Amino acid sequence: MSYQTITLDIADGVAVLTLNRPDKMNSFTAQMRAEITDAVRSAQETARVIVLTGAGRAFCSGQDLGDTGDATQMDLERTLRDEYTPMLEAITGCPVPTIAAVNGAAAGAGANLALACDVVIAAESAYFLQAFTRIGLLPDAGGTWFMPRHMGMAKAMGAALFADKISARQASDWGMIWEAVPDAEFAELWKARAAHLASGPTRAYAAVKEAIRGSFEAGLSEQLATEAHLQGECGRSRDFMEGVVSFMEKRKPVFEGR
């Protein structure tokens, strides 16, 4: 599939998916949602980590209200069900680690696209904004699910009701994202983080994702059983053998990744 609203570059196990409508602050269109969904599903077949970022000064400013003409006539339920849900499920269900490298504004559904990723790294000049109530809506694109799990009920409720900007530093302090870094160091740092994951034990990362994402719906006994099962699978992998041998030999491990 050729892409018109995004770019996808894969090298050394790292897939970089860049939202590429900088003149529109990378706002969502139907085509962009379809292209992101396809690119994530395609990249996970060969890449060992997927990075989502934005071209220009924004990460993603949310829905392009001019995409379908009169925004008040937009079928929001159908759009969310048929277009946003497949995109978000492709990201959350991705077997390899996903990083949101938030280079600028992440507003509305754009903020929640970032929160769908496993790790969010933001430039200090970036911000997050649940802008929905400003136009008479509630947070969607997974916002009501991601926010309380990332930063707790109180912060999530305030972010949704007041629709205030949340700086990258605030987001980091609240536990909403993994880290906020100085703009001058941002690109170098997320690339280093991506390279680290790309050289790591991909099967173990998949197990981490499955266990942690599933823990919110599990009781302790069920979670302990899940850990035991997944640890058994990891313990039979070549990566585990390599990890043990490299530790004993005092060298850096070389993981197969798949």
Render pLDDT for 28-85 as a digit per residue (tens, 0 to 9).
Answer: 999 999 999 999 999 999 999 999 999 999 999 999 887 776 666 678 899 999 999 9
* pLDDT greater than 80 at residue 220: yes
Confidence of residue 242 (pLDDT cuts 50, 70, 90): confident
**Mean per-residue pLDDT of the chain:** 94
| Average pLDDT, integer, range 127-133 | 97
Residue 168 CB coordination number (10 Å): 26
Report the pLDDT value the prediction gives residue 70, as an integer from 0 to 100: 60
**187 burial via Cβ count (<10 Å: 0-12, 13-18, 19+):** middle
Report the pLDDT value the prediction gives residue 1, as an integer from 0 to 100: 67
DSSP string, 39-103: HHHHHTTT-SEEEEEESTTEEE--B-TTTTS-GGG--HHHHIIIIIHHHHHHHHT-SS-EEEEE-
Report the pLDDT value the prediction gives residue 255, as an integer from 0 to 100: 87
Report the pLDDT value the prediction gives residue 256, as an integer from 0 to 100: 82
Which domains can be identified in the chain, with CATH numbers?
Answer: 6-198 (3.90.226.10), 202-248 (1.10.12.10)
DSSP one-letter code for 163: -
- Whether 64 and 27 have beta carbons less than 8 Å apart is answered as yes
Report the pLDDT value the prediction gives residue 66, as an integer from 0 to 100: 78
Question: DSSP strand E in the chain: where?
Answer: 6-11, 14-19, 49-54, 58-60, 98-102, 105-107, 119-123, 127-129, 165-167, 179-181
pLDDT tens, 87-107? 999 999 999 999 999 999 999
Model confidence, pTM: 0.93
Strands 179-181 and 165-167: what pairing?
Answer: unpaired
Q: How far apart are CA 119 and CA 88, in angstroms?
A: 15
pLDDT tens, 134-164? 999 999 999 999 999 999 999 999 999 999 9
The two structure tokens encoding residue 124: 């200090």
